[in-house]
Structure 1
């Protein structure tokens, strides 16, 4: 991420190939909705500062796993980045500028910091859309090193990974092939979508429908045909009294996902939207 390059525009993101999506830049773009005076250069320089501090220590280590340990020690022990266990659903945990400033975050935002700094010093650290908590992975000589950024970058062995996955797979223990698929690197688009889904969930839970709708709308800028985001935006519009917008979004959702488990419930809400009087959107 260049500290002189402006952030991308939302309307351009859908057309970009995944590898052309600048991960940290778009995370800052998400944050700028909530913090319009945000200066992206500040956080580009923060990443570069972390990398400059680390570069010599990383170069000294002969093995990738040891290089990664040096990065984690610096970020999580010396600088003090940490998982916000006490207020997990605080929306600030999802805004990358707040994570840099407060040194507190959720798994995916801490992973972004860890990935940005690691890549700046030459380590190909990737994200993993693991069930439950987001993880990171680094290819090493004898396989892959999987770490938990929410818990100070702690390495996870195969048994713990199986148990964690099992809790979200109906209790079934994944075999080697299934676990390998689960641990596949997440695309940039998938990471950003997961960040926005997290934000939508937090705002929906607290009845903050303006911000919930904004989160769903931003997700649709990345994935214009995403049925779940269409539904979420439509239901948010309904809560805000935007009847026409709700009707259009929910009809599109039912067209794309007619057999969805919540289709009957959404149809009922559509009837309500058709009957209620609300301002157009």
Structure 2
């Protein structure tokens, strides 16, 4: 099993464009932060076994919706992958090794399992960074089939998608153009950033500031221009009494975002640290 998959290094990720960024290896790299003994070959082999089990059956099916229905039946009904409705914010739901071992996950981690198995079978399943819950989509001749991996891969109709989006759009019902834009495929970087933001939010809620800082730091490794992650890391450093790091991050955040809605709040934190507040020109 060794040698089937190689994890990237954190310092290499910012230089890669979205097409070159490896989704599964980087998701496992995120998990290795929390589980340093993680062997990526083990989980690559698990995915491959799922795909190999389905390969003969999928080859006999002509229609894309029936192919993905077979994948969903195997993953969610036979193998028991499921959304963790009881402990949705358990951080293990974001760590892919734990998703494989517990067969429980959140929408984005279950989507990643579903996507990886499907793609190994030649099924072009993509992620959708939908507001609220992450979804997946399969292109068809007359549109797209959108599914909810958190709920067994259930297909979602247009009106349900509009209603789901509406609560995240200030009550506005999206028209066809807006909905189509929302349903665009999510690139690997956006998927991984969303995983890290989920983890950051969980750890902030738990008051685990070392892990919150790590999640924000890893997000910056993926996308150094994300100023919200810079602010979040600085705030976590503040909670950890790492004043030099907090001053550096919060000062740079204010320099780049002097007119942000939270600028005054950040400025007050920086003044409390005795930091130099950037002047607004």
Give the TM-score, by structure 2 length: 0.96
Give the TM-score, by structure 1 length: 0.96
Structure 2 portions without partners, runs of 5+: 276-281
Aligned equivalent of 2:212: 212
In 2, Cα distance between equivalents of 1:259 and 1:125:
40
Paired residues for 1:1-281 under 5 Å: 3-274=3-274
In 2, Cα distance between equivalents of 1:120 and 1:6:
17
Tell me the CA shift for residue 3 of structure 1: 4.9
Structure 1 portions without partners, runs of 5+: 276-281
Tell me the CA shift for residue 61 of structure 1: 1.2
In 2, Cα distance between equivalents of 1:3 and 1:172:
50
Tell me the CA shift for residue 258 of structure 1: 1.8
In 1, Cα distance between equivalents of 2:108 and 2:216:
18
Contact 1:3–1:40 (CA under 8 A) maintained in structure 2 = no
| Deviation readout 1:190-237 (Å, 9 max, x if unpaired) | 000000000000000110000000000000000112100000000000
Contact 1:209–1:236 (CA under 8 A) maintained in structure 2 = yes
Tell me the CA shift for residue 60 of structure 1: 1.3
Contact 1:61–1:67 (CA under 8 A) maintained in structure 2 = yes
Deviates more, 1:223-232 or 1:250-259: 250-259
| Deviation readout 1:71-119 (Å, 9 max, x if unpaired) | 0000000000000000000000000000010000000000000000000
Classify the secondary structure of the residue corresponding to 1:88: coil
In 2, Cα distance between equivalents of 1:25 and 1:71:
22
Structure 1 vs Structure 2 CA RMSD? 1.0
| Deviation readout 1:140-197 (Å, 9 max, x if unpaired) | 1211000000000000000000000001101100000000000000010000000000
In 2, Cα distance between equivalents of 1:231 and 1:100:
33
Tell me the CA shift for residue 51 of structure 1: 0.4
Contact 2:5–2:25 (CA under 8 A) maintained in structure 1 = no
Q: How many positions carry a matched residue from both structures?
A: 274
Aligned equivalent of 2:279: none
Give runs of ≥4 in structure 1 deviating > 3 Å: none
Contact 2:8–2:29 (CA under 8 A) maintained in structure 1 = yes
